[in-house]
Structures are given as C-alpha cells and as structure tokens.
Amino acid sequence: MNSMNILNKVKNVKSYTRLVRQGFLSQQRNHSVSVNEVDHFNELAKTWWDWDGGSRLLHLMNSTRLDFMTEVFRERNCFSGKKILDIGCGGGILSESMARLGASVTAVDASPMAIEVAKKHASLDPVLNGRLEYIHGSVEGSQLPTTFDVVTCMEVLEHVEQPRDFLFSLMEKVKPNGRLVLSTISRTLLARLLTITLAEHVLRIVPVGTHTFEKFIRADELSNFLKEQNWIINDIRGVCYNPLKQQWTLDKPGSSGLGLSCNYFLSAQKPMSA
C-alpha cells in the first residue's frame, strides 16, 4: 500500500498522528535490500552523472554533505588518510569527492547498473586510481573484513526494507571511536508534502516513485536508537532545498529549524569500548 492510499484512509488528525508515530523499529522484514528499489535505481543509473537528470538534487546536495562532515570532524584536511565505507553509493557522487579529498574509499551499492556507471565514471579520473574501490552488493552480504574510520550512508535509509537490522550492519563496520554519518528524511506531513507531492508530482525534479512515506524515519527515532546502543550523537541538523535558488542550506549547529522535519544529516560516534 503506497503513502497516497494510506493518507486517503486517514479520517482525522488523530489517525494521521498515529501513522506518523509508528516507529521504524516496528518494521519486521527479512532483509534490507528491496528488489523494487534496486530496479528503480537501476533505471536512475542511466543518467546518474547528468546534472540535469533524475539525480540533480543529489549533485546539488553533495557540497552540503561535505560541509557537514568537515564541520563535524573538526579536523584540518579531515578526509586525508581516512578509511571510509560508503554504503548505497549509487553512481559515486559522494564517493569520488571523498577520494579526491584524500580518503581511501570503499563504495558499495545493491544496484549493478549504478556500480557499472560509477566504475566507468571513476576510470575517467586517474587521481582516483588506488583511492576508490566499488563493490556490487549490500552491507550485510559484501565481503568487508575490516572496519572503517568512517561509514557514510546518505539518502539510503528511506529505501531499505529493514532499517533496524540495516543500521546494526552499518554500526558493525565502524571501528571504535569511528563515525557513522547518515542522511535521510523525517516521517512528517511536511516531508511528505515537500519530497513526494512537490518534488515528485508537481515540480518533477525527482522521479515519481522515488520515495515511500512509510519508510521515512524521524530524527528523534534515529538518534534515540543510536543512543540506546551507547553511541554518541555528534551532530544532527536539517538541510533544506530552495527550488528558486536551486541550492541546499544546512541548518546552523544546535538549530531545530524546519529542516529536521524533512531532510536531515546525523553524525554518531562509536564508543571506544564497543
């Protein structure tokens, strides 16, 4: 049942509120990879590096992702020498950027077409040789014998089938005192309006069917889940897109602006004793 059908069944504000409060921890499925989602992103892969294609918003968001990570790490040349695992890398927009900034990046995606596109694009830049490895698979199934300084998973949580188990798999790949950096969409009425109704159906800047409202995860749900595992939340901030300026804006540190009600970034640190 899609989000439109669910909303059609909502008879009053109270029933809608119950829907919004259904936590992602209650979702019970057998694996994280969705066949339908993989098929969808296989189609998107064809235009992944087209700035005017279906991934345009990801291209525009990329510098904001890097800004957030730079501010959170609080280190000069913060990517240099880091071992980074990028899960759900798609065509490699973020993966390439981190590798160019000096990181050693292992990038994984469940879409074979996305990985093929990513490899071809990376081969055009000799700077990336030896810095960037692409793997077709999932975080659960990929042969990744080591842990990493940083694990990134951007705009992926809202597409997986079992986010709780998926998060545990991500957390296992982070070394003690390492960082997990996530971005996703909050399950709010505002987020549904902006990311599905406007972005997909009105403005058509995102392919129809990209998002499913039920899979969105509120910022408090995600941060509380990580805290329950004794992880430290370094920062959590909203990020808003202005379609007139065609740019993303990151909330200031400590802000609880409207961004937390839609797209948001989160950085968490694994305890040393883990």
The pairing of beta strand 148-154 with beta strand 174-185: parallel
Nearest-angstrom CA–CA distance, 126 and 139:
27
| Residue showing tokens 């921890």 | 25
Task: Confirm whether 2 is domain-assigned.
Answer: no
pLDDT value of position 8: 38
What is the dihedral angle through the alpha carbons of 11, 13, 14, 16, rounded to the nearest 10 degrees? 70
Binding residues for S-adenosyl-L-methionine: 65, 88, 109, 154
Task: Confirm whether 32 is domain-assigned.
Answer: yes
pLDDT value of position 37: 64
**CB of 155 within 8 A of CB of 41?**
no
pLDDT value of position 26: 47
Binding residues: 65, 88, 109, 154-155, 158-159
Instruction: Please state the pTM of the whole predicted model.
Output: 0.84
Give whole-number Cα distances, 106 to 4, 75, 82, 147, in Å.
37, 21, 11, 11
pLDDT value of position 141: 79
Task: Confirm whether 244 is domain-assigned.
Answer: yes
Binding residues for Mg(2+): 155, 158-159
Total number of domains constituting the chain: 1
Q: Which helix (H) or strand (E) element contains residue 166?
A: helix 163-172
| CATH label of the domain that carries residue 72 | 3.40.50.150
Give the three-class secondary structure for 180: strand
Q: Count the helices and strands in the chain (H runs, E runs).
A: 9, 8
**CB of 162 within 8 A of CB of 134?**
no
Q: State the 10-residue block means of pLDDT for the chain, 274 residues long.
A: 35 39 46 65 78 89 96 89 96 97 96 92 96 93 85 94 94 97 96 92 90 94 97 95 92 75 96 82
Task: Confirm whether 192 is domain-assigned.
Answer: no
pLDDT value of position 43: 72
Number of Cβ within 10 Å of residue 177's Cβ equals 13
**CB of 226 within 8 A of CB of 246?**
no
Give the range of the structural domain holding residue 96, as residue numbers without chain letter. 28-185+214-269
Task: Confirm whether 16 is domain-assigned.
Answer: no
Task: Confirm whether 85 is domain-assigned.
Answer: yes
Task: Confirm whether 226 is domain-assigned.
Answer: yes
- Residue 234 structure tokens: 């370094």
Task: Confirm whether 9 is domain-assigned.
Answer: no
